[in-house]
């Protein structure tokens, strides 16, 4: 198969044994269903009125907060009619979802995924999706672009980023990429367009904060916990699944919005 950017296949990757994106369709309406929908903790199609700060999380979470110049934009979308525009104007833009145990993975399997389009690769860090306390300690997890490196960091200690899964990645600007971080049985993989580019182990540990440890951290799209290190671009089809690692090995990148059921 011919190679595309950064050695990725130019066409869709073959199905992997762990592909759980599309599995069945209901006979009544022929719409796709997700057998792991009950484990989905966040599902954003990012559709809405251009310029607004109103959209729907399909899992039913009613509270979120847009900051800075973050807003819904119909200028670009991967699927549907819009996406979240981040830091395309005045800067300092992000979207927060309140502190929740849904963002604490511990030692469980999980999947963090989205479609991302970068409008610049400048900056030391660009926070894509993060869950970290305001104390600045090494707790929670970070998914970001750092120069020419796509990075997932986590801590099992609460004091150091001892879990690092990094891969070289220089995205073409204004191009949609499917990005995913997947943990299955303690092995974490970072995927770009269905291809695993980096892997690491939890080493039998549990991502801090573990159950009962507590945290004040929101889930943040588009920046770090302290409002620094902004992501410059657009996000669409953001999904977090807790308890299921959806992808194992090469997989076909979804070609339609994630199922709502």
CATH code of the domain containing 161: 2.60.120.200
The number of distinct structural domains making up the chain is 1
Average pLDDT over the chain reads 85
Q: Please report whether residue 136 resides in a domain.
A: yes
Burial track 237-248 (b if 16+ CB lie within 10 A, e otherwise): bbbbbbebbbbb
**Is the entire prediction scored with pTM above 0.85?**
yes
Give 172-214 pLDDT, tens digit per residue.
Answer: 999 999 999 999 999 999 999 999 999 999 988 888 875 555 5
Give the pLDDT confidence of 33-76 residue by residue, as tens digits: 999 999 999 999 999 999 999 988 899 877 789 999 999 999 99
User: Within a domain: residue 53?
Assistant: no
Instruction: Please check whether residue 165 lies inside any domain of the structure.
Output: yes
Query: Strand, helix or coil at 149?
Result: strand
Q: What is the domain extent for residue 217?
A: 98-242
- Quote the CA–CA distance of 42 and 12 in Å, as a whole number: 25
pLDDT at 144 over 60: yes
Query: How many angstroms separate the Cα of 104 from the Cα of each of 178, 186, 210?
Result: 23, 15, 7
Q: What is the pLDDT of residue 214?
A: 53
Distance CA 233, CA 24 (A): 33
pLDDT for position 213:
53
Domain membership flag for residue 233: yes
Q: Is 193 exposed, middle or buried (0-12, 13-18, 19+ CB in 10 A)?
A: buried
Q: Is residue 82 part of a domain?
A: no
Q: What sign for the dihedral angle of Cα 94, 96, 102, 103?
A: positive
In a domain, 221, yes or no: yes
Return the structure tokens found at 186. Answer: 């303690």
User: In whole angstroms, how large is the CA radius of gyration of the chain?
Assistant: 17
DSSP-derived secondary structure letter, 38: G
- pLDDT score, position 215: 57
Phi, psi of 226 (to 5 degrees): -95, 10
Any domain includes 167: yes
CA atoms within 13 A on the CB side of 151: 19
**122 exposure class (CB count in 10 Å sphere: 0-12, 13-18, 19+):** exposed
Question: How sure is the predictor about 30, in pLDDT bands with cuts at 50, 70 and 90?
Answer: low
Q: Cα torsion for 136, 42, 126, 13, to the nearest 10°?
A: 140
Q: Is residue 80 part of a domain?
A: no
């Amino acid at each position: 198969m011919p190679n595309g950017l950064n050695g990725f296949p130019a066409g869709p990757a073959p199905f992997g044994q762990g592909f759980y994106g599309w599995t069945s369709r209901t006979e009544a309406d022929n719409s796709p269903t997700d057998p792991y929908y009950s484990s989905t903790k966040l599902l954003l199609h990012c559709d809405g009125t251009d310029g607004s700060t109103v959209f729907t999380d399909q899992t039913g979470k009613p509270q979120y907060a847009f900051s800075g110049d973050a807003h819904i934009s119909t200028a670009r979308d991967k699927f549907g009619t819009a996406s979240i525009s981040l830091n395309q104007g005045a800067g300092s833009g992000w979207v927060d979802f309140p502190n929740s145990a849904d963002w604490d993975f511990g030692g469980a399997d999980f999947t963090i995924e989205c479609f991302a389009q970068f409008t610049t690769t400048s900056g030391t860090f660009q926070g894509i999706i993060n869950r970290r306390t305001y104390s600045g300690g090494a707790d929670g997890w970070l998914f970001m672009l750092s120069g020419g490196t796509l990075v997932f960091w986590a801590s099992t200690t609460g004091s150091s980023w001892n879990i690092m899964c990094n891969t070289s990645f220089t995205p073409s600007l204004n191009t949609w990429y499917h990005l995913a971080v997947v943990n299955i049985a303690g092995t974490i993989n970072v995927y770009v367009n269905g291809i695993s580019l980096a892997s690491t182990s939890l080493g039998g540990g549990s991502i801090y904060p573990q159950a009962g440890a507590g945290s004040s951290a929101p889930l943040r799209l588009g920046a770090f916990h302290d409002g620094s290190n902004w992501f410059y671009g657009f996000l669409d089809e953001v999904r977090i699944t807790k308890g299921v690692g959806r992808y194992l090995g090469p997989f076909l990148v979804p070609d339609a919005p994630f199922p709502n059921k």
